[in-house]
Structure 1
């Protein structure tokens, strides 16, 4: 059997094991679902507040956007956080010492990261549809749109997460990354239509995949009349596919280069230096 194929199969097995561990450990479950649960509670409290006198409430408009933000935000962090932590504790160094270990390691992380995001999406979608309403997947077209937006959003987020995980130095840097990402959530039309924001903020939001993921999810889950609150009163499927596809292409091309460079520089001395720096920050 080809060594790369064998390493990929090992990675798939590793990813399944990590997923099982993730969803059978209480602390990990809380970490996975705390923020989505809080968001759903807030949307539930807003379920009777209509947007601009329309037929849909603010909560019904926001639920698909929340799902889009979960895909991009958590898909990115699913890789970034584990890469930073595994560099700190030597897990990555041990993987490097095994033939094909790096391939298996990264395949496993992608499987675990994508799997955890998919479970969150299913849970939030089902709970949201039950307690908030307004969203549905009616017809083959809605299912197809939901599927391609979900896949492209994951492809846009996971490689970028790998790049960030390879270049960020320590858990503190990962924590600081959450600040601009939360700001991006705020301006991406997730919880309120983007058309309510100033024009320059609309332009900034449309550069990044989070807005387009939310827009694509709204187009799949909301009735056609909800299109009226979007920019140009259109779901803009072509632009959604183009922007998400562009981010995915850049990530897929750049991530392997950055990860190979990181792996080459990973050594016992570099890990010891990071630990010493972390101890200095602690004291």
Structure 2
């Protein structure tokens, strides 16, 4: 198993280096984060309604939570979908512990891409925005803890979804609902402005809790009054994200093993034919 982990980490580092040194791939990976950064820049003069606190500063930690979920899930999901389609996953399965090494590499890649995107948004924002609580060690430790829990919740979910989807064309079945969850999770507007039933839906999923956890790390305590319970709910945040992480880590290996058992040369060929619109030979 150690050899599989080492091989997977080496594979992940190679893929990450390729991504970072290929302009088109790098652009595709960080483009959404550049859009987020532009939004923060152009809204930095506005304030949260009823306060004199900058709206952009309030939005920043929420966006960081969104990046963790959206980038973590989609990077993992797309990697599995694309590489099932082109036969890469099938070739990995033929090697001793090849599937384990493959998954370690994808986890490393997805986590690294997520961290790159967080860096793209966070570092410039520290210079552009005022009012963030960045001088406290506890703030950074909270941010790190929420980030780790968020990755543990997002990456297994991405692996599960990538195992269940039938091709690249079906990924919209996931990305569209994800964007809908972002819209109702208090990222750009306090969740208390939504109907209670919509708040209840948002509370089930990790996007809201990741945003809340990031806000508890970076924002003044006075802004907790704008949250649904009037507090940062740090224990609840850890509990919900931890539950998603545990559930994902239990379910993902089962789904992945089941998916791998059904992979064969004929299924890869059939999937490729569907992707290129081939109806018969």
TM-score by length of 1: 0.95
Superimposed CA distance per residue, residues 8-29 of structure 1 (whole angstroms, 9 cap, x where no aligned partner): 1100111111111111111111
Deviations 1:199-232 (A, max 9, x none): 1111111100000000000000111111121112
Taking the aligned partners of 2:117 and 2:25, their CA distance within structure 1 comes to: 13
Q: Give 3-state SS (helix, strand or coil) of 2:204's partner.
A: coil
Mapping of residues 36-47 of structure 1, within 5 Å: 36-47=33-44
Q: Which of residues 119, 143, 147 in structure 2 aligns to 1:146? A: 143
Structure 1 residues not aligned, in runs of 5+: none
Q: CA separation in 1, counterparts of 2:229 and 2:92?
A: 50
1:31 alignment partner, one of 18, 28, 32 = 28
Residue 103 (structure 1) aligned with residue 100 (structure 2) = yes
Indicate the residue corresponding to 1:90 in structure 2: 87
Q: Residues of 2 paired with 1:177 and 1:258: CA distance? A: 17
Structure 1 residue 256 corresponds to structure 2 residue 241: no
Determine if contact 1:61/1:192 at 8 Å carries over to the other structure.
Answer: no
- Root-mean-square deviation (CA, aligned residues, Å) is 1.5
**Counterpart-to-counterpart distance in 2, 1:170 and 1:268:** 16
Partner in structure 2 of residue 58 of structure 1? 55
What aligned pairs does 1:179-258 form with structure 2 within 5 A after superposition? 179-258=176-255
Deviation at 1:281, TM superposition (A): 7.4
Shift of 1:138: 2.4
TM-score by length of 2: 0.96
Distance 2:100 2:165 in 1: 21
- 3-state SS in 2 of match to 1:180: helix
Tell me, yes or no, if the aligned pair for 1:153 and 1:244 is still in contact at 8 Å. Answer: yes
Where does structure 2 lack aligned partners over 5 or more consecutive residues? none
SS in 2 for 1:280: coil
Q: Which runs of 4+ in 1 moved over 4 A?
A: none
Deviates more, 1:211-220 or 1:139-148: 139-148
Superposed displacement of residue 282, structure 1: 9.5
